[in-house]
């Protein structure tokens, strides 16, 4: 089975509780401490097996193989990936059966993560996620006053649009944001704006 490690918690001793997202399930697994184990890390894509036992509700994680990409060793790129994947864990917490959309989205990101500024991949993917969940407000109606936004758009958490004058925060040009919401492209945003969008994403899914 293949999946992405979205969370690692320390259990007693050096044992670990590891959460993995696969195509249609989210698994909480247990790994006993052992020197013979391969190294694992948050964000790794792995091939693995689960061993169920009558003694525990949590299956044991076995035969782990890291399905590595070259960029996994690039510190900054990996760090952004780990931040991003952690939001999936928080967002899907306690849901066992998940739609395969989430795994497929991670697959797409994992492939594209090395191509460019990974924050662009993250934001474009996050917009797809919002759309999939029916939470993408591409009508550009202000969240605060409920009137149409004609030019500068400010974004709240989960990319909720509002007038710049209504929430007094950073703002973006409407056509650029429309390009992002409709075509899932960050092409028209410069790196400074990308950083702002990333900060908004980091407020939480």
Q: What is the CA radius of gyration of the chain?
A: 19
- DSSP-assigned states of every residue in 144-192: TT--B--SEEEEEGGGEEEEHHHH-S-EEEHHHHHHHHHH---TT--HH
141 scored as a contact of Zn ion (CB under 5 A): no
Pinpoint the alpha helices (H) of the chain.
75-91, 100-112, 118-132, 164-167, 174-183, 191-201
For Zn ion, which is the closer residue by CB, 2 or 173?
173
Q: Does 168 bind Zn ion (CB under 5 A)?
A: no
Contacts with Zn ion, 93-132, as mask; x by CB under 5 A: ----------------------------------------
In this complex, which beta carbon is closest to Zn ion, that of residue 123 or of residue 162? 162
Question: Could you tell me the smallest distance in angstroms from the CB atom of residue 167 to Zn ion?
Answer: 8
In 10 A of CB 163, how many CB atoms?
21
Q: Which of 74, 131, 144, 179 binds Zn ion (CB under 5 A)?
A: 144
For residue 16, list its beta bridge partners. 10, 31
Residue nearest to Zn ion (CB): 142
Judge contact between 93 and 85, C-beta under 8 A: no
Interface region with Zn ion, contact rule CB under 5 A, candidates 2-10, 86-94, 145-153, 170-178: 145-153
Q: Say whether residue 163 binds Zn ion (CB under 5 A).
A: yes
Instruction: Compare residues 119 and 163 and give the one whose CB is closer to Zn ion.
Output: 163
Q: How far apart are CA 75 and CA 20, in angstroms?
A: 22
Binding residues (CB under 5 A) for Zn ion: these are 142, 144-145, 163, 166
């Amino acid at each position: 089975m293949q999946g992405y490690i979205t969370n690692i918690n320390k259990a007693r001793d050096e044992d670990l509780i590891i959460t993995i997202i696969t195509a249609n399930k989210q698994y909480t697994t247990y790994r006993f401490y052992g020197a013979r184990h391969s190294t694992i890390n948050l964000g790794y894509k792995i091939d693995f097996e689960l061993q169920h036992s009558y003694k525990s509700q949590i299956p044991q994680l076995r035969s782990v193989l890291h399905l590595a990409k070259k960029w996994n060793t690039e510190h900054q790129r990996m760090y952004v990936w780990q931040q991003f994947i952690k939001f999936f864990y928080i967002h899907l917490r306690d849901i066992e059966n998940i739609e395969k959309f989430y795994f497929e989205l991670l697959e797409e990101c994992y492939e594209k993560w090395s191509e460019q500024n990974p924050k662009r991949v993250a934001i474009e993917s996050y917009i797809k996620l919002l759309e999939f969940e029916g939470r993408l407000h591409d009508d550009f109606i202000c969240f605060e006053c409920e009137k149409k936004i004609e030019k500068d758009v400010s974004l709240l958490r989960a990319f909720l649009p509002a007038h710049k004058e209504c929430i007094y925060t950073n703002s973006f040009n409407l056509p650029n944001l429309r390009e992002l919401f409709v075509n899932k492209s960050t092409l028209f945003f410069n790196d400074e704006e990308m950083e702002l969008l990333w900060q908004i994403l980091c407020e939480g899914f």
